[in-house]
């Protein structure tokens, strides 16, 4: 599970560097923050479900709890971006998040 998160981090970092090189530092940092939001959420999810269980009910409850925590952290980090990073390029922040989220799903196919 952590390999998937690591691959997501690599793709999000590469995207942010590409944006920063092509469009400027502010847009690059915005894309990096958006990608970071997705990576942190995925990492939290992985940490919660890492133990695993053979009991289907316990595994289901763990998955639900991990998903709720992931959504909560994502919302909190977006609110923090609104409050603390007011000069952010919101288009690139959202695109950074979207690319990192898509990278997570595609990396599941590769790993």
Number of neighbours of residue 34 by Cβ within 10 angstroms: 31
Confidence bin at 107 (pLDDT 50/70/90): confident
103 Cβ neighbours under 8 A, 6+ residues apart? 7, 8, 11, 12
Taking a C-beta distance cutoff of 8 angstroms, is the pair 110, 18 a contact?
no
0.85 cut: is pTM over it? yes
Q: Classify residue 101 by burial, with Cβ atoms within 10 Å: 0-12, 13-18, 19+.
A: buried
pLDDT tens digits, one per residue of 69-90: 999 999 999 999 989 988 889 9
In this model, does residue 96 exceed pLDDT 90? yes
> In angstroms, what CA-CA distances link 67 with 5, 58, 59, 86?
15, 14, 12, 28
pLDDT of residue 111: 61
Confidence bin at 51 (pLDDT 50/70/90): confident
pLDDT tens digits, one per residue of 15-24: 999 999 999 9
């Amino acid at each position: 599970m952590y390999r998937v998160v690591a691959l997501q981090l690599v793709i999000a970092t590469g995207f942010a560097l590409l944006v920063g090189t092509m469009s400027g530092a502010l847009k690059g940092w915005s894309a990096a923050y958006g990608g970071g939001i997705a990576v942190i959420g995925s990492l939290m999810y992985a940490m919660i479900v890492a133990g695993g269980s053979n009991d289907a009910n316990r595994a289901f409850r763990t998955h639900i709890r991990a998903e709720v925590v992931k959504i909560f952290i994502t919302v909190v980090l977006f609110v923090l971006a609104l409050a603390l990073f007011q000069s952010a390029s919101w288009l690139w922040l959202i695109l950074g998040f979207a690319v990192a989220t898509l990278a997570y799903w595609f990396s599941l196919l590769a790993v």
